[in-house]
């Protein structure tokens, strides 16, 4: 399946107000990836880590900008409430099933036990692309929250685990 089709499907899957922006960026990214593949001259032999690095570089700043913009608009009074609001958005339309493990003023921990994003990419036959475009974006999105916020995740459903373990914490006192 061509990169442009997969990337367009990814942009549409989000269903957010940024779809037009994401679609445009996805088209640019598809062009860059296809240009890279053509430049290498070995369509079937492109080293995956190089293509993945190109995708991460291309989308990283975009996801950080989304994270920064989202963080600024949150009116919640605590760190845990802000992250709880984020997961409510990501889970909208039954996209995620999750259970909150811990919510305090300085941490938010949860396990995602069902993921429609993973189902989507598995149906496409491209779970590695799903990890690259969706799961990998989580840490970049969180970078937009500021240097005092840390995300630790050791496993994902997209990569075959039975759940995703999200652990957010404040590294230092940060203005909320």
Query: What's the total number of domains in the chain?
Result: 1
Residue 42 phi/psi, 5-degree rounding, is -130, 75
In DSSP terms, 112 is beta-bridged to: 98, 164
| Alpha helices, DSSP H, located in 41-115 | 48-73, 79-90
| Residues in CB range of 37: below 8 A, 6 or more apart | 43, 46, 51
> Does residue 176 lie in a domain region?
no
CA distance 17 to 10: 14
> Does residue 90 lie in a domain region?
yes
For 98-157, what is each residue's pLDDT tens digit? 999 999 988 999 999 999 989 988 888 888 888 888 898 899 999 999 889 999 999 999
In DSSP terms, 98 is beta-bridged to: 112
For 86-107, what is each residue's pLDDT tens digit? 888 888 888 899 999 999 988 9
152 closest CA partner among 89, 78, 102, 105: 102
Asked if 131 and 117 touch (Cβ cutoff 8 Å), the reply is: no
CA distance 98 to 108: 13
Q: Chain-wide mean pLDDT for the chain?
A: 76
**Mean pLDDT along residues 155-170:** 96
Which pLDDT band holds residue 14 (cuts at 50, 70, 90)?
very low
CA distance 47 to 166: 29
20, pLDDT greater than 60: no
Domain span at residue 64 reads: 3-170
Report the interhelical angle of 48-73 vs 136-143 (nearest 10°): 40
2 closest CA partner among 173, 167, 127, 126: 126
* Sign of the Cα pseudo-torsion (22, 119, 88, 99, in order): negative
Q: What percent of the chain has pLDDT over 70?
A: 68
> Does residue 175 lie in a domain region?
no
- Looking up residue 154, the CATH number of its domain turns out to be 3.30.1380
DSSP secondary-structure letter at 142? H
């Amino acid at each position: 399946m061509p990169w442009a089709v997969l990337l367009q499907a990814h942009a549409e899957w989000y269903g957010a107000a940024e779809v037009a922006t994401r679609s445009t960026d996805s088209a640019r990214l598809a062009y860059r990836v296809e240009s890279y593949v053509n430049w290498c001259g070995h369509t079937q032999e492109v080293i995956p880590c190089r293509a993945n690095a190109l995708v991460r570089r291309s989308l990283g700043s975009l996801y950080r900008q989304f994270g920064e913009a989202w963080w600024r608009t949150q009116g919640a009074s605590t760190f845990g409430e802000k992250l709880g609001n984020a997961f409510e958005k990501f889970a909208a339309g039954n996209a995620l099933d999750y259970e909150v493990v811990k919510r305090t003023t300085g941490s938010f921990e949860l396990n995602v036990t069902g993921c429609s994003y993973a189902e989507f990419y598995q149906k496409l036959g491209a779970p590695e692309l799903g990890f690259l475009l969706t799961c990998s974006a989580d840490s970049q999105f969180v970078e937009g929250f500021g240097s005092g916020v840390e995300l630790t995740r050791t496993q994902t459903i997209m990569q075959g685990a039975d759940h995703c373990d999200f652990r957010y914490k404040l590294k230092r006192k940060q203005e909320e």
